Amino acid sequence: MKKFNFFPLLLSTLFIVIGFSVNAQTYVPAPKALSLVEAELIILEKSQPTVLMSSSAAQTSLDASYIHSLKMAAGNEMIEPLKLGNPVATVLANQFAKMNAINDANFITATAEVEVFYRTLLKLK
């Protein structure tokens, strides 16, 4: 009976390793991520959202403009760490940890959308 005391520890370790490998997201390498972010910033600069002046459309276009500016800001801040060769997952985590530190409901909602945008852009396909 004493020989099987290690079995729960072994089983727990196995589940931990499997859990980490299943939940781990893989991203493109840093040089590729840098070129993707720079290309996306060029596209974002060319496609400035327009603000319409009708009541419901004005709120929607202001939200779009706000999200657009957050995408530009986040992308510009990620350029330097990616140039230094930092891992993409670390760059994303640091960038959105800084952005999530602000406690404003509209900002948090917009930041979540920007985070999904960049995580999708940089995910290894």
Give the tens place of pLDDT for each residue, 12-34: 665 665 655 444 578 999 999 99
* Torsion from C-alpha of 25, 27, 29, 34, nearest 10 degrees: -140
* 125 or 49, greater pLDDT: 125
Give the tens place of pLDDT for each residue, 55-91: 454 455 457 888 899 999 999 999 999 999 999 999 9
Give the tens place of pLDDT for each residue, 82-123: 999 999 999 999 998 888 777 777 788 888 899 999 999 999
How many other C-beta atoms are found inside a 10 Å radius of the C-beta of residue 79?
A: 14
Query: What are the residue boundaries of the structural domains of the chain, listed by start?
Result: 26-122
pTM: 0.70
- Cβ–Cβ under 8 Å, residues 58 and 51: yes
